[in-house]
Amino acid sequence: MTIRRATTADEAPLAKLWREFEGEVPEPAHRAEHGWEQAWQELAAFFESGLVLLAEGKDGPVGFAVAGFDGPQVCLLDVVYVRPHARRKGHARALIAEVSDWAKEQGASFMTLEVLTSNVDARAVYERLGFEEESQNLVIALDALDRRLARPELGRSFGSIHVQTDDVDAVVRSVRLYVPRLGHSAGSAVAQPRNGWVAVYDEMCDREPETLRRLAVEVSDRMGAVVLAIGIEHGVVVRYVLLERGLVLDEYASVPEYYGSLPPGDVIALGANPTVLARLTGADPTKVRDVARTASSPDELPPPPELLRLVAELIGIEGATYGYEASLKLPAIVSVAAEW
């Protein structure tokens, strides 16, 4: 593989690589979509005062990188992409090394980047290279924010993570590795296997549903396992996310538009998928739609604790109807926080 500085004459291969990158790592729904024409216009600034690299193999381009500056001493690594068939061969590392050399020549002392939480592979590469989390970008729909501001009395959230394994030690190791990265020193606990699942409870995850899902992604990716994050959000919405090898395969929210209006396709996507649920958990597909129901209002469904119990029983999960504090009363619970 060779790496060279790209020019405006490389628009065709860069366009192809960019479209592959966008298809593999799509922008979040709340960000405006833009096509190659706009992206090409944005690249113009990097051609002028930054760096655009093209990595080429025997069969043509295999990756690219774009970098600029975020202040006089900070290099901004805007994009690094390597085609799937060329990964795990050191190409991403080589592109980043070229950017680093260029940045130092320009007087930079630091490198920064942004990466989507969902881009597990890229985050793993950056973590191995020593990048550290500096900040988090948070987002909420304005109509959802208005509802929160108008309803400070919203109930509590709680949830749990269930790993399809009997290997408690492996789950403990995964939790011990990732929980400190969530930015707290509160309690975490792992229960003994029940029905082929090992449950994880965490104090911060009880308070922050998004953190619960984030931890589930990390555990599933590290263990290559089927993982279910399930709970009640703000005392109202019963929700689960079903993952395998770190990828979300099914997601359910009892009131899909509780936090704000969604496109019709997204509303449908938040209904439980009988086929996926049956394949990964053994749930009876004929009962999924009857039990894991969705509605436009919580009043149209059973009370959240009851609905959560029914969904957990459908999947064959025990211990999903309570959070961290209640888990401490279980026999043979493993405290993870004490071993950090």
Report the percent of the chain where pLDDT is more than 70.
Answer: 91
* Span 78-137, pLDDT tens digits: 999 999 999 889 999 999 999 999 999 999 999 999 988 878 888 888 988 999 988 888
Tokens of 219: 């555990």
User: How many Cβ atoms from other residues are within 10 Å of residue 91's Cβ?
Assistant: 21
Amino acid at 228: L
Instruction: Please give the Cα distance from 213 to 117 (Å, whole number).
Output: 11
The letter for the amino acid at 116 is L
* Range name among 167-171, 191-195, 231-235, 264-268 with the lowest pLDDT average: 264-268
The whole-angstrom separation of Cα 204 and Cα 202 is 6
Q: What is the distance between the alpha carbons of residues 321 and 232, in angstroms, rounded to a whole number?
A: 9
Residue 337 has pLDDT above 60, yes or no: no
| Partners of 67 in the β-ladder | 51, 77
Cα–chain center distance at 100 = 27
pLDDT of 200 higher than 60: yes
pLDDT bin (cut points 50, 70, 90) of residue 147 is low
pLDDT at 325: 87
- CA–CA separation, 324 and 335 (whole Å): 11
Q: Any idea of the CA torsion for 81, 83, 88, 92, to the nearest 10 degrees?
A: -20
